[in-house]
Structures are given as C-alpha cells and as structure tokens.
C-alpha cells in the first residue's frame, strides 16, 4: 500500500452467496467490528437481490455496498439485466465489472467489459475493474501482455477524470477460489505492471493515484504480507469476505 498517494480499498465479493436476510444480518455483524477503521474504504459487493437489505443495514456505518455487475444499456429490452441508473437509485456506489467468472461462464469479453465500464462511470458509479491472467498464460510468460490487453481495452474512452472512479483488481484466475494465492512478490509485480500501463495511458500522477487491489484466495493469514507490498492497494476478497471476523482481520491489516 502507498497510502500517501492513493486510497486503500478492502472489498468483499460475495459472488452468489447469502440471501437478503442473511445479507442484512451479516452487515449488522460486520459494521461494529470495522467501525472507525477509516484508513481504507470497506465495501461489500453483494448479489443484486441483497442490495436493498444490505444498504439498509449499512446505513450510518462505514461499510459501503456494491453490486457485482451492471448492464451497459440505460434501459430497454434486456430481460434479466440491471442498469447503472437502477443501482444508483438504490444508493449503490460501487460495481464490480469484468470478474473472471463473468468472462468464463457468461461470455464477457474485453469489449463488453469496456461498454459496462463506460456505462457505470457515465452514470456516476465507482468501478472495480477485474483483470487477470489464466494459469496457462502465466506459464507461457505472457502475463504482462494479457494484463495490458485487458486494461487498455477496458479503459477505452475513459477520461483521466473518470479514471479517478476506477479501482483495478488484479485477480490471477489460477488463484481464485483455489487456495493457491499469488506470492506477495508475484502480486506486487503484476500490480506494478498494471500501474505502468496506467502511467503510459494517463501519466505518472494518475498511475500513482490509482488503487490497484489484489484478489485471489486472500485471507486472514496471508493478507498482511500482500498488503505490505507497495503496489497492492487493497484486496478483492471472495471466500474470506463471507465471514465477518476474517474480513475484519483483512480490514485491520489495511489500517
């Protein structure tokens, strides 16, 4: 973390877990545990149907609530989809875009990620943009190329001003839900590569100000080492974000 030039963000990605009532109970359990821990932003990205209950439970706390996806059109005949305006109207301020599970299971491409990023930013949401290489790509030594491709296409048309509302989550696909965390050094190196791409696109100051998280089996045990790295500005946490005490340990490590 480099808290002098950028904000640390600890975000949970609940994925398809918890019902609305479980979400409310969880936020009520978590909020007192993280109260006053303001050296990082604390976000829970919950399933769409949990948003109202989670937002209500988070009122008056330092826990912010995000969504896990957003459609790129403003409205219309897109059965089953949710627009940025719908999220904003609820009081949501963060949205995850381009998670590898969306790319893997739901046909998400760099191009649709870019469309969603633009729609979210134009509506005024903060974006957590997920990128990351497959195991094969790492083995082939093309991690940097993949991260460059994903970053550059996702940010096409994003202005320097809008970039201030973009957090990038570096999530190596081989580390997600596998218990196989990237080493502290691998995470730092990859986040540094992404920062270099941001520098090439937007300049040094913007690159230094951009929050770049690590995600992939981050947990209460390994978070301190990862967050100690200069290029790792927080975490996007799956499994360990579903247990309030574990998530709190990660928030504590970011203090």
- Which residues are marked as active site? 99, 171
Kindly report the backbone phi and psi dihedral angles of residue 41, in degrees, each rounded to the nearest multiple of 5, phi listed first.
-80, 140
- Is 234 among the residues that bind ligand 13P (CB under 6 A)? no
Contact 6, 195 (CB under 8 A): no
- Is 41 among the residues that bind ligand 13P (CB under 6 A)? no
Q: Which residue is nearest to ligand 13P (CB)?
A: 238
- Angle ∠(173,179,185) on CA atoms, nearest 5: 70
* Beta strands in the chain, from DSSP E residues, in sequence order: 8-13, 40-45, 63-67, 94-97, 126-131, 166-170, 212-215, 234-237
Residue 122 Cβ vs ligand 13P, minimum distance, rounded to whole Å: 24
Collapse the DSSP code of 73 into the 3-class scheme (helix H, G, I; strand E, B; otherwise coil) and give the result: coil
Please identify which residue in 13, 69, 114, 150 interacts with ligand 13P, judged by CB under 6 A: 13
Return the closest-CA partner of residue 14 out of 248, 174, 239: 239
**The two structure tokens encoding residue 186:** 């691998």
Give the range of 105-113, 147-155, 158-166, 213-221 binding ligand 13P by CB under 6 A.
213-221
Residue 168 Cβ vs ligand 13P, minimum distance, rounded to whole Å: 12
Give the range of 52-60, 119-127, 153-161, 237-245 binding ligand 13P by CB under 6 A.
237-245
- Is 218 among the residues that bind ligand 13P (CB under 6 A)? yes
Residue 143 or 217 with smaller CB distance to ligand 13P: 217
Q: Which residues bind ligand 13P (CB under 6 A)?
A: 13, 99, 171, 176-177, 215-218, 236-240
């Amino acid at each position: 973390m480099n808290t002098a030039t950028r904000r640390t963000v600890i975000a949970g990605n609940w994925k398809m877990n918890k019902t609305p009532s479980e979400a409310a109970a969880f936020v009520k359990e978590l909020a007192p545990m993280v109260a006053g821990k303001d050296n990082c932003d604390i976000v829970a990205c919950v399933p769409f149907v949990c948003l109202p209950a989670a937002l209500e439970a988070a009122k008056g706390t330092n826990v912010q609530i995000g969504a896990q996806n957003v459609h790129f059109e403003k409205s219309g005949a897109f059965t089953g989809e949710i627009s940025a305006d719908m999220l904003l109207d609820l009081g949501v301020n963060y949205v995850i875009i381009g998670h590898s599970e969306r790319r893997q299971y739901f046909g998400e491409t760099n191009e649709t990620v870019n469309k969603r990023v633009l729609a979210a930013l134009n509506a005024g949401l903060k974006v957590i943009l997920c990128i990351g290489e497959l195991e094969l790509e790492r083995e082939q030594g093309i991690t940097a190329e993949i991260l460059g491709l994903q970053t550059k296409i996702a940010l096409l048309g994003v202005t320097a001003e809008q970039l201030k509302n973009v957090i990038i989550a570096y999530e190596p696909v081989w580390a997600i839900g596998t218990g196989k965390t990237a080493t502290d050094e691998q995470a730092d190196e990859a986040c540094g590569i992404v920062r270099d791409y941001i520098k090439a696109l937007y300049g040094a100051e913007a690159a230094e100000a951009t929050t770049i998280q690590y995600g992939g089996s981050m947990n209460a045990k390994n978070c301190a080492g990862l967050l100690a790295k200069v290029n790792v500005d927080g975490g996007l946490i799956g499994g360990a974000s579903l247990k309030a005490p574990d998530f709190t340990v990660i928030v504590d490590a970011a203090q």
